Chains A and B, each alone.
Chain A
């Protein structure tokens, strides 16, 4: 906590305003929008993994749940405000239940990984097998493998015909990300965030201090899910279709890769990792010589081997080394431990 909170907020606001203004000149807003959404999704895992030490193999489950909740609610309601709220709440409640089940059962590490992975698989398999006409929620067919197209997309609250799409939608998503980022910043500076980091570092000690570790992890897990759910709803609006692929293990894998490449234990790393890799994937789709899966895989292996701290810590370390502020940064150590906690 080197900078004061006000400074931190100001810097965030100025930098993001500049980025929101400059980036559309470099990348089309439509693509930018999805990069922002992925950034938010990366941040959701970055929060619970990097600061809470909870490695979730199924972050995509909450992303998908948010997207599906939005789509189903939007079809039934015909207006986007309530569905947006539901898309945040439903994954959060689901995560709270799942988290309580896991954390009060004192599951950690690999076991946590297995459970989150399995729950994601169950959701994926369930949604994937709902093609039949009997799977209906209100007016919405769940649609199985083909997903749900044609739902009401984001509108100005209260006016279902005033759609927000195209460039305005880009601004909505960008502002949403900035708000979420600031909320995460605030959370991490608050007692809750500091206690969460304490729990990441040593659960037993925090328990012996009198903190209800399971409850706190559950809450943090639910917050992460809420952010992922919001990203899911924004994604649904962006793509105008939701498919079971959102729940897939591949999607979960990508989120984890974003965090690793961007840098764990930082707020910015997962966002940068997500946007950067998603853009790389988008660029790779325009060539056909090298298989894209191969490239993504190689990136992951090389990062784990040679840059396990990720891009953002490495670059800021380099920056500090260059400009002489070579203070020992506890963040770096903190980060490494988080991965094994």
Chain B
């Protein structure tokens, strides 16, 4: 039985009168791939932000490899070896692809080692041709790929991705799927996603959020065929 790398206890986040995340208990094993789905406003992103330290939960706790990280800053969580990609592209537009990835590698490695690892990832992601180009000049798909490279280069054991496939072409999505599969060799991966097509192609276990709480958690096929879930997605009364 693999160890639990991410766990939340009764995680609750309220904004004023609105409960965006409601008593979420969540568990993730090492090298597991998990998708979080749910309609808009279901609380996926809030949950994601609480886990990554971008928000401090109102109640409840977050554990990573058994350590209580509730209320930690994002950089502290990242320092544990957690790779994070936020919903909107979050890169250094004026810096080159190589510099972006190097900066991520430098956090955990010495200068030369970081350079080697950056070159390596750039090769693996087929970014060699544009390695010296500032990110601001790249297409959306390329930027998303670079951001995955930023996550991957740090050798994380837990990867948290918020809508990695948003706005990408089919070809880009395929490439992304490969990269994510590679990641799961060494890391547990959590993906927050809308795109059912993408989820079907990648996921095994899926957690469905609805109105801030976990609606169900099961294998992707069972989830997809569940009438309750379908009702939620079609906007019918659950």
Binding site for B on A (CB under 8 A): 191, 194-195, 197-198, 201-202, 204-213, 330, 333-334, 337
B residues 73-108 near A (Cβ < 8 Å) are 73-76, 78-79, 84-86, 90-96, 99-100, 102-104, 106-108
**CB-CB < 8 A to B103: which residues of A?**
194-195, 198, 206, 209
Q: Assess whether B134 is in contact with A202, with CB atoms less than 8 Å apart.
A: no
**CB-CB < 8 A to B75: which residues of A?**
206-213
**CB-CB < 8 A to B91: which residues of A?**
202, 205
Closest A-chain residue to B74, C-beta based? A207
Q: Is B121 an interface position by the 8 A CB rule?
A: no
- In the complex where A204-B90, A333-B134 touch, is A197 in contact with B95 (Cβ < 8 A)? yes
Q: Is B111 an interface position by the 8 A CB rule?
A: yes
B90 CB to nearest chain A CB (Å): 5
A interface, by DSSP: helix, strand, loop or mixed? helix
Complex formed: what's the CA distance from A247 to B78 in Å? Answer: 40
Q: Assess whether B94 is in contact with A208, with CB atoms less than 8 Å apart.
A: no
Q: Is B187 an interface position by the 8 A CB rule?
A: no
Q: Assess whether B94 is in contact with A337, with CB atoms less than 8 Å apart.
A: yes
- In the complex where A195-B106, A208-B52, A209-B78 touch, is A201 in contact with B90 (Cβ < 8 A)? no
| Chain B interface residue number, banded | 20 to 34
Complex formed: what's the CA distance from A212 to B103 in Å? Answer: 13
Complex formed: what's the CA distance from A205 to B84 in Å? Answer: 9
Q: Assess whether B106 is in contact with A202, with CB atoms less than 8 Å apart.
A: no
Q: Assess whether A333 is in contact with B90, with CB atoms less than 8 Å apart.
A: no
Complex formed: what's the CA distance from A195 to B92 in Å? Answer: 11
**Among B74, B86, B93, B102, contact of A337 (Cβ-Cβ < 8 Å):** B93
Known contacts A191-B111, A207-B74, A330-B134, then 20 further A-B pairs from the complex at CB < 8 Å, ordered by chain A residue: A194-B99, A197-B92, A197-B95, A198-B95, A201-B94, A202-B90, A202-B92, A205-B90, A206-B103, A207-B73, A207-B78, A208-B74, A208-B75, A208-B78, A208-B86, A209-B103, A209-B107, A209-B150, A212-B73, A330-B96
- In the complex where A212-B75, A337-B94 touch, is A204 in contact with B86 (Cβ < 8 A)? yes
Listed residue (B93, B94, B95) with the most chain A CB atoms within 10 angstroms of its CB: B94
Q: Assess whether A201 is in contact with B92, with CB atoms less than 8 Å apart.
A: yes
Complex formed: what's the CA distance from A110 to B103 in Å? Answer: 27
Q: Is B220 an interface position by the 8 A CB rule?
A: no
B144 CB to nearest chain A CB (Å): 13
Complex formed: what's the CA distance from A213 to B79 in Å? Answer: 12
Could you list some 30 contacts between A and B, CB below 8 A? Answer: A195-B106, A197-B95, A198-B95, A198-B99, A198-B100, A198-B103, A201-B95, A202-B91, A202-B92, A202-B93, A204-B90, A205-B91, A205-B150, A206-B103, A207-B73, A208-B52, A208-B75, A208-B78, A209-B75, A209-B103, A209-B104, A209-B154, A210-B107, A210-B108, A210-B154, A212-B73, A212-B76, A213-B75, A330-B94, A333-B94
**Among B79, B90, B136, contact of A210 (Cβ-Cβ < 8 Å):** B79
Q: Give the number of A-B contacts (CB < 8 Å).
A: 75
Complex formed: what's the CA distance from A89 to B99 in Å? Answer: 33
B161 CB to nearest chain A CB (Å): 12
Q: Assess whether B78 is in contact with A198, with CB atoms less than 8 Å apart.
A: no
**CB-CB < 8 A to A207: which residues of B?**
73-75, 78
**Among B84, B86, B94, contact of A334 (Cβ-Cβ < 8 Å):** B94
Complex formed: what's the CA distance from A79 to B102 in Å? Answer: 47
Listed residue (B52, B75, B86) with the most chain A CB atoms within 10 angstroms of its CB: B75
B72 CB to nearest chain A CB (Å): 11
Closest A-chain residue to B96, C-beta based? A330
**CB-CB < 8 A to B100: which residues of A?**
198
Complex formed: what's the CA distance from A337 to B92 in Å? Answer: 10
**CB-CB < 8 A to A201: which residues of B?**
92-95
B53 CB to nearest chain A CB (Å): 9
Complex formed: what's the CA distance from A333 to B92 in Å? Answer: 12
Complex formed: what's the CA distance from A205 to B90 in Å? Answer: 6
**CB-CB < 8 A to A211: which residues of B?**
75, 107
Complex formed: what's the CA distance from A205 to B89 in Å? Answer: 9
A340 CB to nearest chain B CB (Å): 11
**CB-CB < 8 A to B106: which residues of A?**
191, 194-195
**Among B52, B74, B136, contact of A333 (Cβ-Cβ < 8 Å):** B136
B residues 98-135 near A (Cβ < 8 Å) are 99-100, 102-104, 106-108, 111, 134
Closest A-chain residue to B84, C-beta based? A208
B80 CB to nearest chain A CB (Å): 8
A285 CB to nearest chain B CB (Å): 40
B159 CB to nearest chain A CB (Å): 12
Listed residue (A195, A198, A210) with the most chain B CB atoms within 10 angstroms of its CB: A210
**CB-CB < 8 A to A202: which residues of B?**
90-93
Q: Assess whether B92 is in contact with A198, with CB atoms less than 8 Å apart.
A: yes
**CB-CB < 8 A to B79: which residues of A?**
210
B residues 40-88 near A (Cβ < 8 Å) are 52, 73-76, 78-79, 84-86
Complex formed: what's the CA distance from A244 to B131 in Å? Answer: 51
A279 CB to nearest chain B CB (Å): 32
**CB-CB < 8 A to B136: which residues of A?**
333
**CB-CB < 8 A to B78: which residues of A?**
207-210
Complex formed: what's the CA distance from A207 to B76 in Å? Answer: 8
Complex formed: what's the CA distance from A209 to B152 in Å? Answer: 11
Across chains A and B, which 10 residue pairs bring their CB atoms closest together, nearest first?
A210-B78, A201-B92, A334-B94, A210-B79, A207-B75, A208-B84, A205-B90, A210-B107, A198-B103, A207-B74
